[in-house]
């Protein structure tokens, strides 16, 4: 019994860990703006950056440069916000990164791109790290 | 038991479509009544008045209101009788994506199969579809004289990153956009150039980004895309 109990606890902890690593809808639920931006991320970014925001999207099969892992706290913390906004607005080439990162100015408004930068800071837990 | 409900729903949609574009839909209805009764439940046959992001998430099939600008008749007639997969992840890839390692995958078994029709119906449907024009495509925009296959392929797969989302050979390329390896049979060149130039004209929220391409780039890419899947390549 005890063994199963422990295994059960382990599973619960594991489940919680997975839930924590999926900031998709669950974590953003209380904040409507984060939630709306998560939906935009699902529509436009997850195809390359992954449904779990880990850089492992379905399209990476065709990519010669791998997309940024947006859940990587250390790597994401090293990017200045202005660079993130510029990369999303004008594309990777505008910040001397791969042109495979497209420009989204034709799809997202400047306000939505600012919200996206906030959302990325939330996804990588960069605020807490600072 | 569900049939009457579906028919009623289709009739409702047909009525809506009729209200939107009386002349065009009337003519199209005469060519093939099946289009409104059997297809409108999944496909927009008139330009949506509510082109929102929510609509993209809830629609059951790709838009056909610009079908007349887009398709070659021979391909349409053959495909409607024997549909193959065009969008590897279905009309919205996200709904069939599974998280994974080394990458997310598509649950292909869950992607819906398309309904089939017989040869006579396919011919009538194709004629009706080819009457649906958007006014967004300019005849003669593509100039075949400027085609350059080597440069076109290089732009598609390296310089402009189209291969991130589109397959130009079966099994090679990204999965969130329609395959283009039979685009030469499926699509009209003037549509390919118009769509590539500004996808948001066709839907403001579609997840193909607006590429910034020069006119020679657009011509090369189009020349390459419309060569794909042609026998005499």
Q: Look up the domain containing B194 and give its range.
A: 137-233
Q: Do B173 and A57 touch (CB under 8 A)?
A: no
R_g over Cα of chain B: 18
- Chain A CB within 8 Å of residue B200 CB: yes
Query: Are B112 and B154 members of one domain?
Result: no
Which of A17, A60, A38 has its CA nearest to residue B100? A60
Residues B120, B193: one domain? no
In this structure, of A24-28, A31-35, A37-41, the range with the lowest mean pLDDT score is A24-28
Kindly list the residues from chain A whose CB atom is less than 8 angstroms away from the CB atom of residue B198. Answer: 106
Do B128 and B196 have their domain in common? Answer: no
- Quick one: tokens of B181? 């390896």
What CATH number did the domain enclosing B215 receive?
Answer: 1.10.760.10
Shared-domain flag, residues B3 and B102: yes
Last residue of a domain, one of B135, B166, B183: B135
Rounded mean pLDDT, A59-70? 94
Which residues are CB-contacts of B8 (< 8 A; sequence separation ≥ 6)?
none
Q: Can you tell me which residue has the tokens 């099939």?
A: B61
**In terms of CA atoms, which chain B residue is nearest residue A50?**
B104
Which residues in chain A are closer than 8 Å to B209, comparing Cβ atoms?
44, 102-104, 106-107
**Residue A127 clears pLDDT 90, i.e. is over it:** no
Residues B131 and B35 in one domain: yes
Q: What is the pLDDT of residues B86-121, one digit of tens each?
A: 999 999 999 999 999 999 999 999 998 999 999 999
Which chain A residues are closer than 8 Å to B56 by Cβ?
43
- The confidence band for B30, taking pLDDT boundaries of 50, 70 and 90, is low
Q: What is the mean pLDDT of chain B?
A: 88
pLDDT band at A98 (very low <50, low <70, confident <90, very high): very high
Spell out which residues of chain A touch residue B176, defining contact as CB-CB under 8 Å.
47, 57-59
B115 plus B205 within the same structural domain: no
Contact B25, B36 (CB under 8 A): yes
Q: Which residue has the higher pLDDT, A130 or B219?
A: B219
Apex CA A92: angle with CA A87 and CA A97, to 5°? 120
Rounded-to-integer distance, Cα B64 and Cα B34, Å? 14
Looking at residue A111, which CATH number applies to its domain? 1.10.760.10
Total number of domains in chain B: 2
Please compute the mean of the pLDDT values over residues B153-163 and round it to a whole number: 92
Q: Which residues of B159-168 are buried (b: 16+ CB within 10 A; e: fewer)?
A: ebbbbbbbbb
The reported pLDDT for the residue numbered A34 is: 94
Q: Cβ contact (<8 Å) for B164 and A59? A: yes
Query: Could you tell me which residue, B15 or B109, shows the higher pLDDT?
Result: B109
Q: What is this structure's pTM?
A: 0.88
Claim to verify: residue B3 and residue B109 sit in the same structural domain: yes
Give me the domain span that covers residue A25: 2-129
Q: Are residues B122 and B35 in the same domain?
A: yes
Would residue B14 count as lying in a domain? no
Q: Does A81 touch chain B (CB under 8 A)?
A: no
Chain B hits for A64, CB-CB cut-off 8 Å, are 158
Domain end among B135, B170, B203: B135
The model's confidence at residue A27, banded by pLDDT at 50, 70 and 90, is low
Stretch 28-67 of chain A: residues touching chain B, C-beta under 8 Å: 39-40, 42-44, 46-48, 50-52, 56-64
Rounded to the nearest angstrom, the minimum Cα separation between B103 and chain A is: 4
Across chain A, what does the average pLDDT equal? 83
């Amino acid at each position: 019994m005890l063994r199963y109990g422990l295994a059960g606890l382990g599973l619960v902890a594991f489940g919680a860990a997975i839930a924590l690593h999926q900031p998709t809808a669950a974590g953003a639920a209380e904040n409507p703006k984060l939630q709306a931006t998560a939906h935009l991320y699902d529509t436009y970014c997850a195809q390359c950056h992954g449904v779990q925001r880990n850089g492992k999207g379905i399209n990476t099969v065709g990519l010669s440069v791998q997309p940024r892992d947006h859940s990587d706290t250390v790597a994401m913390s090293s990017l200045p916000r202005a660079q993130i906004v510029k990369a999303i607005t004008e594309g990777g080439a505008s910040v001397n990164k791969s042109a495979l990162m497209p420009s989204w100015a034709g799809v997202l408004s400047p306000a939505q791109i600012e919200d996206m930068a906030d959302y990325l800071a939330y996804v990588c837990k960069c605020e807490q790290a600072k | 038991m569900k049939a009457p409900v579906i028919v009623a729903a289709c009739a409702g949609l047909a009525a809506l479509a009729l209200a939107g574009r009386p002349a065009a839909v009337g003519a199209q209805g005469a060519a093939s009544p099946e289009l409104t009764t059997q297809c409108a439940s999944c496909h927009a046959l008139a330009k949506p008045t509510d082109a929102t992001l929510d609509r993209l998430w809830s629609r059951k099939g790709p838009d056909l209101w610009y079908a007349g600008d887009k398709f070659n008749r021979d391909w349409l007639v053959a495909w409607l009788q024997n549909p193959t997969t065009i969008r590897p992840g279905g009309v919205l890839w996200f709904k069939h994506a599974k998280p994974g390692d080394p990458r997310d995958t598509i649950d292909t078994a869950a992607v819906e199969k398309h309904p089939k029709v017989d040869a006579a119906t396919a011919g009538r449907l194709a004629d009706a579809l080819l009457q649906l024009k958007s006014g967004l495509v300019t005849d003669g925009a593509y100039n075949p004289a400027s085609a350059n296959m080597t440069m076109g392929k290089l732009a598609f797969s390296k310089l402009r990153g189209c291969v991130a989302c589109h397959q130009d050979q079966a099994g090679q390329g990204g999965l969130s956009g329609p395959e283009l390896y039979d685009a030469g049979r499926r699509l009209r060149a003037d549509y390919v150039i118009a769509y590539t130039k500004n996808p948001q004209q066709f839907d403001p929220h579609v997840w193909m980004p607006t590429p910034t391409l020069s006119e020679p780039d657009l011509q090369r890419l189009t020349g390459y895309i419309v060569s794909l899947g042609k026998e005499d390549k």
